[in-house]
Amino acid sequence: MKLSKFCIKRLSALSLFMFTALCSYGRVILPALVSSNMVLQQKATVKLWGKSTRSGSLQIIASWNNKQYKAAINKDSTWHINVTTPAAGGPYNITFNDGEKVTLTNVLIGEVWFCSGQSNMEMPVRGWKNQPVTNSAELLLNADNPKMRLFTVARNPSLTPLNTCNGEWKQADIESVGSFSAVAYQFGLMLQHRLKVPVGLIFSSWGGTKIETWMDKASITQHPEIELPTQLPPPTVDRQPPTALYNGMVHPITSYAIKGFIWYQGEANKDAPNLYKSLFPQMVATWRKQWGGGKLPFYYVQIAPYHYGRDSTNKGPQRLREVQLNAMKVIPNSGMAVTLDIGAERFIHPPDKITVGKRLAHWALANTYNFKTLPFSGPVYRSKAIKNGRLQLYFDYAPLGLTSYGKDLTNFRIAGADNVFHPAKAKITNEGIEVWNDKVKEPLNARYAFDEWVIGELYNVEGFPASSFRTDSLLISNKP
C-alpha cells in the first residue's frame, strides 16, 4: 500500500515533534519515584538513580548544600549515586546534568514511610460505594497540605522482580487525599502534627491479596506447599500468584530510602493461620534486607472482627489474630495496632480508619521517634494464677490498670481440665482481671473475645484495647 505525499509529510512532522519533545526533556531518564514533589528521608544516605543515553559521567547538584556529586554512567546506561540529606526542610531543587540538564523542583526533606497491605489499607479517604470512611468529609475539607506528599504505586503484577514502577508524587489536596489510603493518610497526618516535618507516604496495596503475593521467590520456595507461578493467568492483572506483587510493587521501591513500614493485611489468609505464622516474619525479614538490612520499624494492624457468615469451626479469623499478636514477640522492632473494638459485623472494611491510623502513629512516635512517655499499646496478657477457685490474669502495658469504661466484661470464657469452655464472669482488680464460673470448680484456662465477631470491651486506662487472647495452647484445628 502506497502512502500519499500528504500522509508522508504528516508522519514526518509527527516524528520530528516526538523527537523534539524527547530531547527537550534531556537525556537523563529518572524513575517515577525520583521526581519533582518527592520527599527524601532526612538525615540519611539516600540513593538517586536512573539512566542516561550518554557515556561518561553525570553531575548532580542538590540545592540544600550545592555540593556537586559525580556518578559514573555504566555500559548499560544506568547510574546511581548516594547523597546525604540534611535535617527536614525544603523545598529544594536537584539538578542532573549529563550535558543536558534536568531539574527536579519542590523536593522536600522529611520522614518517608512505605504503606502496604490489602483492601483495608487500600480503602481511600473518600470511601467506596456503599462503604464509608468515618469523618471523610472533614479530612477532605482540611486536605490542602504542601508539606504532605503522596505516591501511589500503580498495580503491576510480575513474574520477575522489576526495577521501576509507575506513579507520581502528589502534594496533598482534596483530589490526591480523596483517592489515597485512609489509614496511611491519618498515620502521616499524626506524624506530621507531632514531628513538625514534611512527610512522604509511598502506598502500595491491592485488595483481596494474600501475603504470599507480597513475598519474594527465595522465601516462597522454602514452603513446598505453595506453588510458584510459571506464567500469570489471564487477565494479566491477576493479583494472587505468589511473588507477583512483590516483584512488581515492592521490589521497584527498595532503592528508595524510607524510615519504616506500616502494614494492614491478613483477612485473605484467615483460613491458614499456621502458614501465616511462618510467612509473616519471613516477609518482614526479606523487606528489611532488600531495603539495606537492619531492623527498620514495622508496624501493622491486627485484622478486625467481622461476621464471615459461614462455618468457621477452625476458628481461622481469631487464630489469625492470635498469630498477629504473637508476631510481636518474633519480629524485632515491630508493633501491632489492635482493632478489636472498632470492627463492623457486616462490613469487612470497618469505616473507622482514623483510629487505626492514629494507633499506628502512636507505635511509631513512641518507639521510632522516642516519645517515651506516649502510650502506644493496649494491655497484653502476661500470666495467670489460680486463687480461691478463680483465675487471676495479669497484663503488660497497663501501668495505670485496666478499664471497661463501665461496661460488663462479657467476652471471657473459662475451662477446667476437661477443656470445655464456659461463659465466665469477670471483674477488674488492682492486679488485673479475675475470671470465674461457679460450675468450674478448678479452672485452668481462660479466653477473651476469642470469636470471629466480637466487640472488644477491655482497655488499659490509656485507652488502648486489648487483643483477643487465650491462656491455653490447645490445638484447635488441624487445618493449615
Query: What average pLDDT does the segment 121-135 reach?
Result: 98
- pLDDT at position 313, please? 53
Q: pLDDT band at 27, cuts 50/70/90?
A: confident
- Dump strand ranges (E) for 404-477: 412-415, 422-423, 425-428, 433-436, 445-448, 459-460, 469-470
- pLDDT at position 310, please? 65
Count of CB atoms situated within 10 Å of the CB of 219: 20
- pLDDT at position 314, please? 65
DSSP class of residue 318 equals H
- What pTM, to 2 d.p., does this model score? 0.92
Separation of alpha carbons 166 and 33, rounded Å: 8
Q: Is the pLDDT of residue 387 over 70?
A: yes
Q: Which position has the higher pLDDT, 448 or 477?
A: 448
- pLDDT at position 81, please? 97
Q: pLDDT band at 476, cuts 50/70/90?
A: confident
Query: What average pLDDT does the segment 353-381 reach?
Result: 98
Please name the amino acid found at residue 289: K
Cell of 397: 502495658
Q: Is the pLDDT of residue 14 over 60?
A: no
pLDDT tens digits along 392-428: 999 999 999 999 999 999 999 999 999 999 999 999 9
Domains of the chain: 25-108 (2.60.40.10), 109-367 (3.40.50.1110), 380-470 (no CATH)
Question: Of 124-128, 225-229, 403-407, where does mean pLDDT reach its minimum?
Answer: 225-229
DSSP class of residue 300 equals E
Separation of alpha carbons 263 and 369, rounded Å: 18
- pLDDT at position 227, please? 85
Q: pLDDT band at 237, cuts 50/70/90?
A: low
Q: Is the pLDDT of residue 2 over 60?
A: no
DSSP code string of 96-157: EESSSEEEEEEEEEEEEEEEEESHHHH-BTT-BTTB--TTHHHHHHT--EEEEEEEEPPP--
Mean pLDDT of the chain: 92
- pLDDT at position 240, please? 84
Q: Quick one: which H or E segment has residue 275?
A: helix 273-290
- pLDDT at position 20, please? 33
What percentage of the chain exceeds 90 in pLDDT?
87
Question: Of 114-128, 232-246, 412-426, where does mean pLDDT reach its minimum?
Answer: 232-246
Q: Is the pLDDT of residue 22 over 70?
A: no
Q: Is the pLDDT of residue 253 over 80?
A: yes
- pLDDT at position 19, please? 34
Query: What average pLDDT does the segment 252-276 reach?
Result: 97
Query: What average pLDDT does the segment 68-90 reach?
Result: 97
- pLDDT at position 291, please? 98
Count of CB atoms situated within 10 Å of the CB of 152: 24
Q: How far is CA 393 from CA 226, 384, 423, in A?
A: 39, 5, 16
- pLDDT at position 7, please? 41
Q: Is the pLDDT of residue 26 over 60?
A: no
- pLDDT at position 234, please? 63
Cell of 316: 481461622
- pLDDT at position 21, please? 32
Q: Angle between the 182-195 and 353-367 helix axes, to the nearest 10 degrees? A: 40
**∠ Cα 93 145 197 (to 5°):** 65
Q: pLDDT band at 228, cuts 50/70/90?
A: confident
Q: Is the pLDDT of residue 172 over 80?
A: yes
